Amino acid sequence: MKKIEEYVRSIPDFPEPGIIFRDVTSILQDADGLRLAVDSMQKCLEGTEVDVIVGMESRGFLFGVPIAYNLNRPFVMVRKQGKLPCETISRTYDLEYGSATIEIHKDAIKPGQRVAIIDDLIATGGTVEAAAKMVEELGGQVVKIVFLMELAGLKGREKLKGYDVSSVISYPGK
């Protein structure tokens, strides 16, 4: 069986010269790659008591839902502003050029619940930091954050100090 890194398509000079884009679609389009990705991410949760899986829009949904299903845990979506139908709380965070806002349903996390946050990629860490703060605002405890891929050169882990963070694959650059 191939290693998960072998399923990742690397595209040079996208979206701009000097950047190597790590494409998750090549993993999703291969049944063995998808199974390996989900299993590898789920393995990062071994030994951690988790009540709820939270996934980040949109690729965090793709990996978080099967993990929640396998663990028989509920799945909670963190979405872009204006996409959730019920009462929400929100958090705005900085992007390279501007800002973005994400939301979670106000009733999605109960006080004291142990939460694992799942996403496909950590770059600067701003999105997941905002999600973790919302989970905590609702009274949840972030017990683990799991990424499929990490762009270590962007130092996203620094924003997530104090959290237990794992990534399946780590690339040294941006």
Residues with catalytic roles? 59, 96
Alpha helices for the chain (secondary structure H): 25-28, 31-43, 59-71, 126-137, 156-159
Phi-psi region of 131 (alpha: psi -120 to 50; beta: other; left: phi over 0): alpha
Distance from C-alpha of 110 to C-alpha of 96, rounded to nearest angstrom:
33
Tokens 């100090």 label which residue? 161
- The reply to whether omega before 58 is within 30° of 0 (cis) is yes
Report helix angle 59-71 to 31-43, nearest 10.
Answer: 70
